[in-house]
């Protein structure tokens, strides 16, 4: 039950943050750009992006690993995937000013990509019984990326 509460709080924070950003600034080019939107409107307030990413990742890692252990007899090997996905998101949040500094841009972009890879690999391995969902999930991720211009940047 604790895992469900933690995951629900994490997802709730993520959704509320995105709704607030959408209401304030419209559809952002990417979630990471909300750091700049906040700093442009209220200088020094980009920390809200960092805090949101850290809290969501921190709250989500335990329930996600716990779910990984419940899938099957061999699923305890999957625990590193959620850990790495959430860890990479924390690195993304530590390096939010990816547009202004080249070294930070590499950390931010690579960690964001690695987080997505670890998460999608977990979905592919953990959900192998419902494998037809994976192409739909990848298509949905691609559609969201295309609509938010993530693929164009």
Q: How far is CA 45 from CA 1, 49, 66, 91, 100, in A?
A: 34, 8, 34, 19, 16
- Per-residue confidence (pLDDT) for residue 138, from 0 to 100: 81
Average pLDDT over residues 96-103: 82
Rounded Cα distance between 78 and 67, Å, is 10
Helix (H, G, I), strand (E, B) or coil at 116: helix
Q: How far is CA 116 from CA 12, 18, 93, 135, in A?
A: 20, 18, 14, 15
Higher pLDDT, 113 or 79: 113
pTM of the model: 0.78
Residue 15 above 70 pLDDT? yes
């Amino acid at each position: 039950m604790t895992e469900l509460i933690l995951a629900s709080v994490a997802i709730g924070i993520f959704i509320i943050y995105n709704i607030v950003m959408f209401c304030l600034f419209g559809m952002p080019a990417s979630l990471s750009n909300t750091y700049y939107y906040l700093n442009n409107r209220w200088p020094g307030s980009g920390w809200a992006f960092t805090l949101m990413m850290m809290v969501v990742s921190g709250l989500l890692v335990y329930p996600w690993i716990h779910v990984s252990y419940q899938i099957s007899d061999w699923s305890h090997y999957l625990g590193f995937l959620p850990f790495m996905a959430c860890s990479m998101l924390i690195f993304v949040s530590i390096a939010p000013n990816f547009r202004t500094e080249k070294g930070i841009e590499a950390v931010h972009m690579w960690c964001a990509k690695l987080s997505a890879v670890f998460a999608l690999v977990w979905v592919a391995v953990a959900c192998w019984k419902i494998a037809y969902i994976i192409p739909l999930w990848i298509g949905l991720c691609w559609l969201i990326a295309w609509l938010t211009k993530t693929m164009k940047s």
